[in-house]
Amino acid sequence: MIESILFWIFAVLAVAGGIAVFVVDSMARATYALAVSFVAVGGIIVMLHLDYIGVITILMMIMEMAIMAVFMVMFMGMNPALMPMDMTHSTRRSAVLATLTFLVLAVAIIVIPWPDRTGSAAADLTRSLGEAIMGSKMLVMLTISPVLFATIVASLVLANPRGRYDRYGADLDRRDPDGRAHPEDPIGGGIGR
């Protein structure tokens, strides 16, 4: 009983949040409406007893939206961020696409002959889900993930140590008018370099 009430609360929140993203007229509101939607989805995942994945979803989505709001505001330029603005574009095409996707998924839910449960649920659902998805590729993934992480860090370093490459491109050895070798960074870091 309580479980189905909770499910419906989360489900309605998730859908309503998703709709709100396109109805509201401010970037901050749209961003956080999306966050609410994702958090509700995280709640549903927790209800499937995938606690870790559910809570991590909530964590990541809130963090992501907090950062995304900043970037959205930053990249709007000539700041209309505070302006009431329409959050939709290519309305007709999007509507068609959305309806089609919904229909395909809904039909799939009804048509696919879902298998009945055999056996009992594992003690740790998160672990068994991970093994079911990854299986024998676990070692590969473990090896690749540090490489991926290193790639991200390296590309960030190349792209933006305080914006120098951004500002001066390959011309890093140019000298300032006063003869300094490096473009001077106005704000020093905390460890006195």
Partner 1 sequence: MSDPVLAAVLLVPIAVVTLAGVTASANGALDARTRGAPLRSGFTAPLHEAARLLRQQRRTLPGADSLLWRIAGAGIGMVAVLKVVVIPFGDTVFADLPVGLVWFNAMDVLLWALWWLLGWGANSGWSLVGGYRFLAQALSYEIPLMFALTAPAIGAGSLRMLDIQAAQVDLWFVVWMPLAALVFAVSVVAFSSWGPFQTALGTDVGGGVVAELSGIDRLLVLGGRYAVLVAGAAFSVPLFLGGGAGPVLPAGVWVVLKTCAVLAGLITLRRLFPTLRPERVAEIAWVVVVPLVLVQLAVVAVIVGMHGGAL
Partner 2 sequence: MDVTGLVARTATRRVHVFLVETPGFGLLRMLAQAAIAERGWVEALGPADADALVVCGTPSSQLDRLIDAVWQQIPSPRHRVLLEPGGSLNDLLNSIPAVLRDDPRQRTDARTRRLVLDDDRGPAPAVTPHGDDAGSGAGMDPGMEMDMDMDMDMSGPAGIPLAGGDNDRDGLEMDVTHLTMGPLLAEWPADLVLHCSLHGDVVVDARAELLPWPDNIEQPPEAARLLDDAARLLSVAGWEPAAQQLARLRDDVLAGGTVDRLLPRLRRVASRLRRSRSLRWSLSGLPQTPGTPLRARLLDWVQTVLDLVDPALVDPDAVDPAQQIPAADLRRPTSPDDIRLAVIGQELAATRLIIAGLGSRSRVSGSVSHE
Piece in contact with partner 2 (CB under 8 A), picked from 116-124, 147-155, 172-180, 183-191: 183-191
By a kind-dependent CB cut-off of 5 to 8 A, residue 80 interacts, out of partner 1, partner 2, none, with partner 2
Q: Give the span between the Cα atoms of 81 and 168, in whole angstroms.
A: 29
Could you tell me the sign of the dihedral formed by the alpha carbons of 123, 125, 130, 135, in that order?
A: positive
Asked if residue 19 binds partner 1 (CB under 8 A), the reply is no
Q: CA separation (Å) from 147 to 118, 140, 150, 151, 157?
A: 39, 11, 5, 6, 15
Q: Give the span between the Cα atoms of 177 and 163, in whole angstroms.
A: 20
By a kind-dependent CB cut-off of 5 to 8 A, residue 79 interacts, out of partner 1, partner 2, none, with partner 2
**CB of 158: closest distance to partner 2 in angstroms?**
16
Q: Give the span between the Cα atoms of 185 and 163, in whole angstroms.
A: 9
Three-state DSSP at 175 gives coil
By a kind-dependent CB cut-off of 5 to 8 A, residue 78 interacts, out of partner 2, partner 1, none, with partner 2
**CB of 169: closest distance to partner 2 in angstroms?**
11
Of 102 and 149, the one with the shorter C-beta distance to partner 1 is 149
Asked if residue 134 binds partner 1 (CB under 8 A), the reply is no
Q: Give the span between the Cα atoms of 176 and 116, in whole angstroms.
A: 72
Binding interface with partner 2 (CB under 8 A): 25-26, 77-80, 82-84, 162-163, 166-167, 186-190, 192
